Amino acid sequence: MADSTLWWLMTGAAVVLELLTGTFYLLMLAIGLAAGAIAAHMGMDVSGQLVLAALIGSLTTAGLYLRRKKTPADPSVRSLRSVNLDVGEVIQISEWHADGTASVRYRGAQWQAITRSGRPEGPGSYRVTELMGNRLVVEKA
């Protein structure tokens, strides 16, 4: 069996594993394996094929990691107004407890409010930014 055939079989296996797991990192490694197959077609020796496949696979994986690290993450679903109609509503907080929470009356029920930063800014108007369980996460309005 030719070297290129082995490289293409490993590339196909990496793509199948990527489809089963849903991670793009295996796809980047498959690109490196495909580079090894192309090097085998070009007549490069086995050590050259291995070095080229490792180099291309490593560079594409590192590039994907750096790109994902640089892009901001999606906002939490709990903070989307389309999911939670309480987001954006203004509430009045008269006093904060020593533990950084406040008890507020909202929608006819008693709620516990916390600030996103963890440090309350005194009594006043606050806007709901997120719901975490039965807690309202608020910021100064």
**pLDDT tens, residue by residue, 74-93:** 777 777 777 788 888 999 99
Q: What is the pLDDT of residues 10-65, one digit of tens each?
A: 999 999 999 999 888 999 999 999 999 999 999 999 999 999 999 999 999 999 99
- What own/partner pairs with CB < 8 Å and gap ≥ 24 does 76-80 have? 76/130, 78/130, 78/131, 78/132, 79/129, 79/130, 79/137
Query: Quick check: 18 and 26 in contact, CB under 8 A?
Result: yes
The pLDDT score that the predictor gives to residue 43 is: 95
Q: Is the pLDDT score of 100 beyond 90?
A: no
Query: Quick check: 78 and 131 in contact, CB under 8 A?
Result: yes
The pLDDT score that the predictor gives to residue 6 is: 96
Is the pTM value of this prediction over 0.75?
no
